[in-house]
Every structure is written in structure tokens, then in C-alpha cells.
Structure 1
Amino acid sequence: MKQAMSPEEIKAKKPYLDWSLSEAEYDYISQQLLGRLPNYTETGLFSAMWSEHCSYKKSKPVLRLFPNKNARVLQGPGEGAGVVDIDDGQAVVFKAESHNHPTTVEPYQGAATGIGGILRDIFSMGARPVASLDSLHFGELTDAQTKMKVTGTVRGIGDYGNCMGIPTVAGETTFDPCYQGNVLCNAMSVGLMDQKDLQKGKAAGIGNAVMYVGAKTGRDGIHGATFASADFSDENATQRSAVQVGDPFMEKLLLEACLEVITKHPDWLVGIQDMGAAGIVSSSAEMASEGHSGMELDLDLVPQREAGMSAYEIMLSESQERMLLCVNKGHEEDVKKVFDFYDLEAVTIGRITAGHQYVLHHDGEVVCDIPVSSLTDDVLEESSEEQKPARIVAAEQAPAWQPHITDVEATLRSLLQQSTVADKSSLYQQYDSQVRTNTVVGPGSDAGVIRVRGTHKGLAMTTDGNGRFVYLSPKVGGQIALVEAVCNIIASGAEPLAITDCLNYGDPNDPEIFWELHQSVQGMAEACRVFDTPVISGNVSLYNENNGQAIHPTPMVGMVGLVKNLDHVIPSFVQQPGDRVYLVGQTGDDYAGSELQKMLQGEISGTLADFDLEPVRDYLHRLLKLMQAGKVASAHDLSEGGLGVALSETLFKTDLGMDLDLRHLTADQFFSETPGRLVVTVPAEFAADFESTMGGDAAMVGTVTNSHWLQARLANAEINQNVSELQQLWEEALPCQLKSKD
């Protein structure tokens, strides 16, 4: 097989520099690991496997800060997805992945294949996916390109998920100029399984078969991993060859075939793994590494949909809907029959060998012969310089920005129409949130909730991230991302279990950006320990820049919680007149990075105030116990827009109102975004118990009325607003912005 370049030409021309492999890494591979020059195929494999997207060579030192174990964790980071015990021999499986660069280049396919890839991570563990979530961050809707990207991204998510028959039950969508040239598309999937069916990505047992199953391999997505591990610019803004093309109908067949083998014929299977980033090379090398095995593959046997593909192209293609299985010798035909039934390819392309070599044959020649560990374990970790950004140093010395609101009602109406705050139903109504009939709470609430069929349990789930906060104060912002997720889960009446994450940042070679990554992960890790919510899976997405301009550092937290009794799921909207209204948590003057600041100033500035995590944990746990005892009618967390927006949202789509005494707050504080707060309504008969349990951590501020008016007295202002009019402004804002020709 003729290689595109000889090893000597590769050394001289250095094409690997365009594949995110450094000269120092190339020299280390050739001189230390192999003792010879790698050929073209081998160089390509190293480039993909040593990319940040696959190896985390820059971020590993930071990721070690995360806790990843507690009494419920059955499988932490390192496999396709994390697994958590939910009692009764059952487990919840979940993970989030980023698909940022592909979605920026090709919104529809980028988003669709992001969903497809994360679903395969779930069923590769032996779990059936039961729900999807997303976290989407776009530029401002004043830009025609952004409107196109929003439309394409949402359609891609909806089409793939709907065709798969998996409900999309929760998510978030924000808008900020920093995402104008680099969209963030983070997808999360949640699955359910019996613990006995748990699988791992392992290849072991000399003579056992390596079986390729699913769709045929094409040239789409080649070097997708390295595409995701480099800065974005106008030069690669049309790099569609690195974007995969999805087929949800084939994925549905693949899901059913894989689960049939896993659950009905576990004795046939040694291990299974999705062919995700870096395609065949990542799945096969990682499985061999996990099994401490050698592997030999014949690439001529790989099902291909295009003629004349080279070994390089076959190994690095990221064509979708493909899995790799390690099958016990003698059961190859059994597995093939299952996949034949679903009209899917199932081909033995190699065997497990003694030793630890990774050998590839193509066109009758050996095109790769290297140690497995050289691809997976010998990656050179890269230390990074860190430097506190000058903007933060300056902000710490400057006086805090203070709003001066003269018309609180007009401010509330304007905030409700901000694109990040406004009603997102025009987007998520394109998703089927009720398919499979297990959805208890769908999109538009603090967290989605699904029932665990056959039990009286449920699972609550949410995605949360606020790049503005992390940009201003990375450590505190990281803590807030976790606290917001906890508040959303508890607001639904669920016990927080664990998290997955997508760590979206700019170029880590910039010392200021790496400092942001380090500080924010440190903040997240501290909060995870306080709330006992370990990180069980996730991914790192660096190099999110466009023409040298980085996004705000945006760690996304995906959290799952356990609802022990579905009778006590808590809605986010008020329930009946006469219920008492409580504000849980203390309100401060927290305006830096707020929606109010962005709206009034056109930019964000300042730093975030430190806050104590332990008291927040303690009163949220007390609140959860009251919820589980059936003594809370509704709960809604406070986030963008603060108390003013949260109160409005609790009344929307009801025929009720509120009469509130908020004279301990100013008009400015009505929109403060102090974290860790909720609006809670309580039936009058439980008010005494609620106040006794919550003490000074909850203040009774009014009652629910049947007037459909929001009435509130502040220290220096009054509010008297028709809820129907507020709701109309909130509902119509986003559709109008998307359709506007401006």
C-alpha cells in the first residue's frame, strides 16, 4: 500500500503540525517510543490519539481536582459514561459531550451527530437512553448568521432525537456576543439499566474477535478530533470534511441490536465501545489498552461506502452509527445473526493477540505496528503557564457597579424580553418531550423529570452554565454553576446524585485562559465535595475561539437527581390561592455579570462576591426534606433576572397572582442574581412547619392570589403588573427576534 508520504518526507515536511501534533511530540514518538520514523498512517493515528480532544494532555492535571467517587457511584470517568446506583438493582447512566466546532461549521449535522454520539456512549454501557438534554450558547440574535445557526442547531437536535424516539426533557439556551464565531452545542444523555447488565470498553482474551458493527465507513469526519483541538478561524469556517453526517434511523437499529446482545447474550460479549472521536483507532486502541492486550486488524475487511479509501482514512473516519465489539471466539456468527436481523453490518475485522502490539494490515501490507500503550498511555502531558487576567486584577480594584433603577416595572418588562431570559418554547417545542410516555416534567421547568417505569421513583435532570460569571470570577463562577444545578434539582423535589460536565474554554496555551480553566475547575470541585455530587463523566472542549477571540469560559454542569416518590415532584409554578410565598436564601447586591447589567450597560464588568457553600447546602437539604414530606406546593430557583423574573415565571401559564411585601429589598435588589435562592410556595396548613424547619433561611413575603396580577411593595418602589401582559411579552420576544430582518 503506497503511503501518501514516506517517513522521511514526513520528517522533512512536517504535515503533522497541521494535525495538532507538535514537533517535540513527533520527536518523542520517533526517538523514544518507536525507535524509528513513523509512517504516514501511524503519524495520523498518533495525531488523533494525542490530540487534546482524545488525550486531555493539557487538562488532565486540572481534571484530577474533581472528586469522582461516593457511596452511589458504580462507574466514574474513563468509560463511555458514568453510572450511579439508584437502588433496587437499578442504575442511571449519563454523560455530556461537546460538539462545538462541527455545529459552528454545519449547525444541523453538527448538532444532530452530537446527539447521536452521546446516545451511543449510553447504550455502549448496557443502558437504554431515556432522555436527552442540551446546553446551547449562541451569539446575539441581531446577526443573520446567528439566527441561521440557532434554527439549524435546534432542528438538528430535534430531528435526530425525535427519530430515535428519545424525549428531550430539559436544557438551556443563552445568547452573548462572545459565542458569535464559536457556537457551543453540548449534548447530554441519560439512560437506565439493571446493574447486572453493566458493560465496559474492554478487549481481552487471545483469539477473541474484534467485530465492527453498524454503518459503513466513509470519508466524513476525518480528523474530527484534531479539528476540535485547534483554534477556530475564518480559514476553517467551511471545513465540512471534519463534520460527520448522521442517520438516526440506523442508530435506532444499532441501539436495539447492541442492547439485545448485551442483555440477552452477555456470555458472547467481552466489551463494547462507541466509535466516537478518532473513529476506529480510538475505540480499538482504548479497548485493547483497557484489556492489557494486543490487537491485529485487517482494514480490508472494514465495511466501506467509498472506494479507494486509504488506511489513514479508514482509521480516522468519524462516520456515525458504528460500534466496536470484542466477542468471545466461537460466537462471531451468533452476533452476526442478531445484527443481520436489524439489517446492519457485523464483520470480524481482527483478533486479540498476545503481547501488546497494535498491528494494522491494508492491501496485503502491514501499515501500522506500534505498542498499544504508545497511543493511549504514553501521551506527553503538557504543563501550562498560568496568569491571572489583567482585566480581573483591574476589576478587583475598581468600585462595584451599582444600578439605579427608577422604573422597576419597565425594567421587569424589558428583562423578560431579553433573549437569554425570554420564553424558549418556540425552540424546544420542536423536540418531542413526551415520547415513551415516561416524562413527568418536560422542558420549561427547572429540571426535567422522568419516571422509572415499574417503580414509584423518578429522575430529575438539568444542564446549567453561566459563562459571564466564570469570565468575571472563575472560581466563584465555577461554584455558582454547580450550585445552580443543585438548586434546579432540589426545586423539583429530587436528591442530587452526581454530575457530568462539558468544560468549554478558549486556547489553553494562553496563560490567562488556562488560569480561568484551573480556577473554575477548582471552584466546581470544592462545590462538588460540599454537595457530595461527584463528577462521573464529561469532556473538555478547548480552543473555542474565532480569529483569536475566545468565548467566555463556560463550564456546563449536567446533574441528575433521584426522586424517591413521584407523588412529591414539585412543579415550578404556583398551585392555589392562599398558599404562602417564601424567599429562600439571602439577597445581596450581586449585579456583576447579571442580565440586568448586560441589558443596561451593554457589557459585563466587576467581580463576584465570595459566598459560603456550607450554609447553602444545609438549608437546601432542609428544604428537600420538607418537599419529600409533601409540605411544599411549588419551587423555582432564581437565576437570570433574579427575583423579578423568577416571580413572573412562577405565575406564567396559570390564572393566579401574588401579593408581596418585599420592603426589605430595593428596586435594584429585585433583579440581583445572588446564587442559592428559590421562590417557594407552601400551603397555609404547613406554613408553621416550614418556618420552624427553615428558620432565618426563608422569609415569608406574601401570598398567592386569584387576581392574575403581580403586586409587590419594595423599599423604594411598587409593582402592579398584569401577569397576562408580562407573559405575552416573555412569550413573543424570541420568535420576534428570530424573524426580525434587522
Structure 2
Amino acid sequence: MTLDTVKHATETPDVEQPWAELGLKKDEYERIREILERRPTGAELAMYSVMWSEHCSYKSSKVHLKQFGEKAPESDAMLVGIGENAGVVDVGQGYAVTFKVESHNHPSYIEPYQGAATGVGGIVRDILAMGARPVAVVDPLRFGAADHPDTKRVLPGVVAGIGGYGNCLGLPNIGGEVVFDSCYQGNPLVNAGCIGVMRHEDIHLAKASGPGNKVILYGARTGGDGIGGVSVLASETFDDTKPTKRPAVQVGDPFQEKLLIECTLEIFAEKLVAGIQDLGGAGLSCATSELASAGTGGMRVELDTVPLRDASLSPEEILMSESQERMCAIVEPQHVDRFMEICEKWDVIATVIGEVTDGDRLEIFWHGEQIVDVPPGTVAHEGPTYHRPYARPEWQDALQADDANKLPRPASAEELREQVLQLVAHPNQASKAWITDQYDRFVQGNTVLAQPEDSGMIRIDDETNLGVAIATDGNGRYAKLDPYTGAQLALAESYRNVAASGARPLAISDCLNFGSPEDPAVMWQFAEATRGLADGCQQLGTPVTGGNVSLYNQTGEVAIHPTPVVAVLGVIDDVNRRTPIAFAEEGQLLYLLGDTREEFGGSAWSEVVHGHLGGLPPAVDLDREKLLGEILIAASRDGMVDAAHDLSDGGLVQAVVESCLRGGKGARLVVPDGLDAFTFLFSESAGRAVVAVPRSEELRFTDMCGARGLPATRIGVVDGDEIEVQGEFGVPLSELRAAYEATIPGLLA
């Protein structure tokens, strides 16, 4: 078979090429021919196909994502923003923190264990590539109906993959959430996030500059697993008529990744690299084109020098392979020997595969024959831009008119009590300990808060106790009812969770999970959610540092709920001043902060009791969220509260149950004037939290709230071994614990 060289491509312009099979549209293929002024070689076609995929190029979403830059709030903390492997923020004392959330949805449905494991591995390498030591991971997850047979296949595999890979790396899993909904049947969402820590001077960027500098590929050998991988899998919907693409799912080796991490950090410490990029989606196609495009010159690569696990791989397959645990570094010639010594010390394979040139082309050779000659920017950063048509769906008005406030409410105290137990035992509200107990949450000894706390928190400096907190949230039910408001509610809840633990929110990363962009209704949802998030971040002063868009999340014609997942990162000066959720001391006074209204659209109560989704989600007041956050942070710092818990899914009663069970203490609650017991317990009004205040601090705390204009209502006291709503009912903690803890093990045993 004739090697498809650049010369051969020039001489054979009419050769038919499998552009459609590689996921390209006809006009995209014609555009590639225009750029090159000839037909592409097979290797070039492979590169463009993966780099111009939805997953890598953001071709349907970038016209909306630009708002994150245009509306970005002023931030003294931002050090590196959108466009790099991950964002970086200043957290004080010379420390910088990098963090990001990404998706590995479709691979995790096909091969739950490897799909989820390599999702963790990929996000960890993104953080490593910024120059940071990875210190913790988080995992926002969405699955189909909890009692569906396929959930019993997908969920245990995903959890085992996340736990297996993260535990082997020695990284604590400190946060995330698990949500069940039939809309995710056949299309689970496996989002993975990572936090890394470095000094300011250690930040590294993905660029290849300096003619003569060497391009070194190091880490695992390149194999046939993951060819096309996430770049292809994430760029189309699932359909029963299509193959499962099982070979496209990458296979991870966490022990190889651990060696790669330690090797890379030692290389950084000796300042041996001029630029670096991890190999994730699109593999070598991405690493070489992005490094060259972001640099000041070109690049020449000898592809036949790439170490292989499978000698039969073609050049196209090598370029498209998404085999894991690989990095690409740009190294000045005088540092190459030392670079290789460190790699040998850590038993990491390292090979010089090329060098930076003074030209403006990415040139790739195979046994001396040129198979790629492209402007690297056209591959990496100048893919198609689609202005997809979008329109508010015809069914949206009817959905919003189906008001949840009209649903039948409990007619007696006994029915109210039963619905509390029903809520607490529902898979979405029940304990996730069966899942989180499979993760090592405290390895390395720096975890100070982890699930089921409001946010995960890590100490990053042993001497000063400086720390960072992270929370991830996203309510697809709210976003289905109103994508703009739903995205802001996801932001507000994460912001509130971080503040409730005592940390000051600094910045966000996001993972935007939606259906097919070719559906105008889905594209409207995406446009509205993006606009809502950009407006919300501007108002809260939390810039978007980066993130991920995951489209085509649907099975056949049925799209998932729009699910914007928002990760908020915060900083705390002293982790010893953190606030847990547990009500642990009898006599603590319980205060409800914020306003409670009759807001049940998209609520847990409407779902659990009535199987209903309709109406409008709770209203958002971001100024109130900001004020609430300031009060919670000040109260934590000054020792005015012993516990705090944000109010979100399930309302006040869910928060109180979780805090009581966490601390092993009961509570006596009094329904405030102007509220009925039902609304008091189940409303999901935003901008609220419940706090436990020591009696000695009550006056100081209420004076602060009063002076700042935040409603603070005393609703009870920590006491006894039951939760009693005076004048209504009581439930022993033992009964609540049985309901709360039995559900998930019962479903998955």
C-alpha cells in the first residue's frame, strides 16, 4: 500500500477520502482542502477530524462561551484564564491553585470502569501540565433511574474506576455529588475535577518556542486503545443502530501515572522545560498542534520514533490514539540529558520525537517521508465556528405553566411526617456513603472537610494552615424549567456551599452537559444557561477560569436535562476556622438565614412525592447570595457559629436531618410566624442556610445579621435524640438514619 505522503496527496487530488466516517461534514472537508490548497493526506485528515470534533474545537459552543471573557469580572486573583489546560488563581502567601472540571460521559457508559478511571487520569494531567502538584479530586455524577437494571451495571463500574484510579494515585476525593434521573438513562454524566497547588513562579504554559528546542514525548507507550477516543465518542449521540466503539475507550494505568506525576514535578523543580502539554483528547494531534500554534515557530516531528505498544499501528492511528499517561515537553538542548536522567530514574520512557523550527508549519515525517505539512493554528485553534440555530422549545411554556405549587400537600401532621421520611429515603437525598466510602478521602493527611460536608477542603500550607475549598453543583431539573435561572442556581449553590464552610469564593470552573447542538431547543437551553452563568459570575465577582462543554448527551431523540455543573473554588486563611455541617453540641441555637417563600418548582418534594416536574424554579437573588456568603464567612472566622449547612435540594428538613445525623444530636424546631409547617420544611427558596450558634455568641451573631440586613430567624435548638417539629410531629434519629442509610446499598447490593 502506497504511503499517503504530502507529495502523493498533491499528485492525486481526486482520491476519495473517508471524511464522513471520521465525523467531518462535507463543507469542513472542503475547508481543509482550501487551507492546504490540495487534498489532505490520511494523517492530516486524521488530525483535522479529531481536532475539529465537537469535543476539541467547541465549534457549536464557542460563540456563546466568549461571554465568559467579555463579561469577566475584575479579579486580582486570576493568574491564568481560559485557553490553557486549566485556570490558575492566586490564593495568597505566594501560592497558586489550578483547578478544572471535565467530562468523560460517553466512554463511561460503554466501559464504566475504564471510562471513569481515565477521566480522572486526564484531568489530573491537565492540572500537572500547569506546573502544579495535584492534591485532590472531585466527581459530580449523574445516572439513570436508581432502580433501573442498567444503573446497576454503570454506577458500580464508574465508582470503582474513580476510586481505583484516584486511590492508586494517592489523591483524596473530597467532593462531588450523585444524582439519579431517568433522563440520564443510557447517557450518564461522569464529570471529574482536580485541584493542584504550586508557587506563583512554577506556572507552566502549553507553548513551543525557541528554534532547536527538542520535542520530548514521555510516559506510557502509544497503543491502539482510545483511537479517536473521547474526541469521537463525545461528538455524536448514542444510537442502538451504531457500534459501541468499545476500542475507542482508553485504558488507564494509575501506577504509570503516579510515576509520571513525580517525574514531571522533579523536572519542573529543576526548570528543565520551556513548554509542556498533556496528551488527552486527540492525543498527539492535539499536543503537537497546540504547542506549535501557541509558540512562535513551527515544529518537525519524526512520528516513527514514537514508542509503541502495538507495532502494527498506522501513522493515522498513532496521531489519533488517546492512550493514557503521556506528556509532551519542549526542552532546550542543554537540558535534554538531565531530562532523560530524571525520566530513567522514575522508570518513565522518554523519546525525542522532534524539534521546534523557525518556520510556521507543523511537519510530521514517517520513516523520512513527509505525511503532514499544515499551519498548526488551523488544526488547533481555527476550527469551524457554528452559529447553530436556536429557539425556545414549543413545550417550554406548558412546562412552566404546570405549577408545582398546585400539587396536593400533606393533609395532616402524620402525612407530613411520612413525606419527610419519604424524602430522606429517596436515592437523590439518601446517604451516598456506599459510594464515597470507596474513595480515600483523607490520604496525604491534608483533607479537613470531605463528603458529605457542604464543600471539600484541603490544607495547602502546614505552617499557616492556609487552605482551599471546592464545591460542585448543578440541578438539571431547575435548568429544564428555566436554563438561565437554573445555571445561576447551580452557581449560587456552589458559592453558598463554599461560603458555608468558611471559605471565600474566588473563581469557577464549569462542565456544561447538554444534548445535541443540532436540535434548536437544546441549543436554546445552552445559550440561555451560558448567558445565565456569565451574568451570574459577573455579579458575584467569580470569573470563569476554564471548563468543558459536553454535547450530544442523548439517546436517540431524547436529550438529558440541561445540566450545567459549576465548581466554585474558595480560599480560607486558617482551616482550623472551618465550619462543618454537624450539629454536635446540645443547646446550640438554630437560626434560619434568608427568606422562605412558597417555591416548589423542580423541588425534591415535587419529584419524590408526586413524580412531577413543572412550574418555575426558585428565584435567584445574587446580591442576597453574596451577602449571605459574607455573613457565613465572617461568622466562621470569628467563631460565631459551630455549624452551617446550605439549603438546597429537599429544603430545610433535608439540611437539618443531614446535620443532626452527622453530629448525632437531635433538634427541636418551631415553625416561624407567617409560615406553615409544609413550606417551612420543604420550600427550596435559594439564598438560605441554617446555622448552629453557641448561646454565648447569639447576640453578636444576630447583631451582625441585623446590621447587614440579612433576615435571621431563630427556629429551634439542638437537643435530644429526635427531630421534633413542635405542634406537628417527631421522628427519632434512629428511624431517620435507617431511612437515610439503607436506600443506596439496598439498590446496588
The TM-score, its normalising length taken from structure 1, stands at: 0.96
d(CA) in 2 for partners of 1:314, 1:710:
61
The alpha-carbon deviation at position 331 of structure 1 amounts to 2.0
- Aligned pairs for 1:625-704 (under 5 A) are 625-663=634-672, 664-669=674-679, 670-695=681-706, 697-704=710-717
Indicate conservation of the 8 Å contact 1:658/1:711, yes or no.
Answer: yes
Report if the CA contact (8 A) 1:578-1:703 is conserved: no
Q: Which residue of the partner structure matches residue 304 of structure 1?
A: 308
Render the CA deviation track for 1:68-92: whole Å, top value 9, x for unaligned: 5611010011111111101111111
2:84 equivalent in structure 1:
79
The residue number in structure 1 matching 2:239 is 233
Say whether the 8 Å CA contact 1:10–1:40 is kept in structure 2: no
Q: How far is the alpha carbon of 1:594 from its aligned partner? A: 1.2
Opposite residue 481 of structure 1, the aligned amino acid is A
- Displacement of 1:11: 6.4
Contact 1:623 1:694 survives alignment (8 Å):
no
Question: Which residue matches 1:2?
Answer: 2
State how 1:542-691 maps to structure 2 within 5 Å.
Answer: 542-663=551-672, 664-669=674-679, 670-691=681-702
Alignment match of 2:373 (pick from 369, 376, 394)? 369
Note if contact 1:233-1:548 (Cα within 8 Å) is conserved in structure 2.
Answer: no
Is contact 2:404-2:612 (8 Å) kept? no
Contact preservation (8 Å) 1:655, 1:707? no
Map of 1:520 onto structure 2: 529
1:478-557 alignment to 2 at 5 Å?
478-557=487-566
1:89: which partner in 2? Answer: 94
How far apart, CA to CA, are the structure 2 residues paired with 1:14 and 1:433? Answer: 50
Q: Name which of 278, 284, 289 aligns with 1:280.
A: 284
Displacement, 1:13?
A: 4.9
Pairing 1:21–2:20 present: no
| CA displacement at 1:2 relative to structure 2 | 3.1
- 1:103 positional shift: 0.3
The CA distance in 2 between the partners of 1:11 and 1:704, in whole Å, is 80
Matched residue SS, 1:17: coil
Aligned with 1:640: secondary structure? coil
Please tell me whether the aligned partners of residues 592 and 715 of structure 2 are also in contact (alpha carbons under 8 angstroms): no
Which residue does the alignment assign to 2:200? 195
Residue pairs, 1:122-521, within 5 angstroms: 122-224=127-229, 225-236=231-242, 238-263=244-269, 265-266=270-271, 268-403=272-407, 404-406=409-411, 407-454=415-462, 455-521=464-530
Q: Check the 8 A contact 2:400/2:614 in 1, yes or no.
A: no
Residues 405 and 667, structure 1, Cα contact 8 Å, conserved in 2: no
Moved more, 373-382 or 331-340: 373-382
* Aligned-residue CA RMSD (Å): 1.7
Write the deviation string for residues 325-378 of structure 1: whole angstroms up to 9, x where unpaired: 000023222111110111111110001111211111113311111111221233
8 Å Cα contact 1:590/1:673 also seen in 2:
yes
Q: Take 2:577 and 2:348, find their aligned partners in 1: how far apart are those partners?
A: 44
Superposed CA deviations along residues 613-645 of structure 1, whole A, max 9, x for unmatched, are 212212321232122111111000112111111
- Number of positions where the alignment pairs a residue of Structure 1 with one of Structure 2: 733
The answer to whether the 8 Å contact 1:456/1:565 transfers is: yes
Task: Find the aligned partners of 1:152 and 1:738 in 2 and give their Cα distance.
Answer: 11
**Contact 2:402–2:614 (CA<8 Å) still a contact in 1?**
no
Q: Specify the SS of the correspondent of 2:663.
A: coil
d(CA) in 2 for partners of 1:552, 1:193: 37
State the AA in 1 paired with 2:697.
F
Letter in 1 for 2:445: T
- SS in structure 2 opposite 1:330? helix
Bigger mean CA deviation after superposition, 530-539 or 594-603 = 594-603
One-letter code aligned to 2:497: N
8 Å CA contact 2:489, 2:620 repeated in 1 = no
Give the residue type in structure 1 aligned to 2:739. Answer: L
SS in 1 for 2:387: coil
CA distance in 2, matches of 1:653, 1:350: 56
Q: Deviations over 1:556-610 (max 9, x none)?
A: 1111111112221001011312211111111112111111111222241122254
Show the counterpart of 1:50: 52
Q: Please tell me whether the aligned partners of residues 656 and 704 of structure 1 are also in contact (alpha carbons under 8 angstroms).
A: no
CA contact (8 A) 2:276 2:328 kept: yes
1:237 Cα deviation after fit:
6.0
How far does residue 548 in structure 1 lie from its aligned partner after superposition?
Answer: 2.0
TM-score (norm 2): 0.95
- State the secondary structure of the residue aligned to 2:137: strand
Residue type of the alignment partner of 2:311: A
Give the stretch that moved more between structures: 690-699 or 165-174. 690-699
Whichever residue aligns with residue 686 of structure 1, its letter is E
Deviations 1:17-75 (A, max 9, x none): 232211011111102x1111112111111111111111111111111111456110100
* CA contact 1:357–1:369 (8 Å) conserved in 2: yes
| Pair 1:13–1:547, CA change in 2 (3 A) | farther
1:35 is matched with 37
Structure 1, 139-148 or 417-426: larger mean CA deviation:
139-148
Pairing 1:102-117 to 2, within 5 Å after superposition:
102-117=107-122
| Counterparts of 1:232 and 1:3, CA distance in 2 | 34
- 1:658 and 1:702 in contact (8 A); partners too: no
Partners in 1 of 2:697 and 2:76 — Cα distance?
Answer: 33
Question: More deviation in 611-620 or 147-156?
Answer: 611-620
Distance across 2 between alignment mates of 1:462 and 1:400: 28
Deviation of 1:402 after TM superposition, in Å, equals 2.6
Q: Contact (CA 8 Å) 2:670, 2:716: kept in 1 or not?
A: no
Identity of aligned residues (%): 41
SS in 2 for 1:652: helix
Compared CA separation, residues 724 and 9, structure 1 to 2 (3 A): farther
Q: Is the 8 A contact 2:187 2:553 kept in 1?
A: yes
Give how far 1:453 is off.
2.8
Cα distance in 2 for residues equivalent to 1:146 and 1:655 = 32
Cα drift, residue 236 of structure 1: 4.2
The one-letter code of the counterpart of 1:317 is S
1:730 corresponds to 2:740: yes
Aligned residues of 2:671 and 2:677 also touching (Cα < 8 A):
no
- What amino acid sits opposite 1:707 in the alignment? G
Partner SS for 1:460? strand
- Distance (Å, rounded) in 2 between the aligned partners of 1:434 and 1:10: 60
Q: Which runs of 5+ in 2 are unaligned?
A: none
CA distance in 1 between counterparts of 2:360 and 2:299 reads 7
SS of residue paired to 2:76: coil
Of the candidates 725, 731, 735, which is equivalent to residue 721 of structure 1? 731
Q: CA, structure 1 residues 446+187, in 2 after alignment: closer, same or farther (shift >3 Å)?
A: same
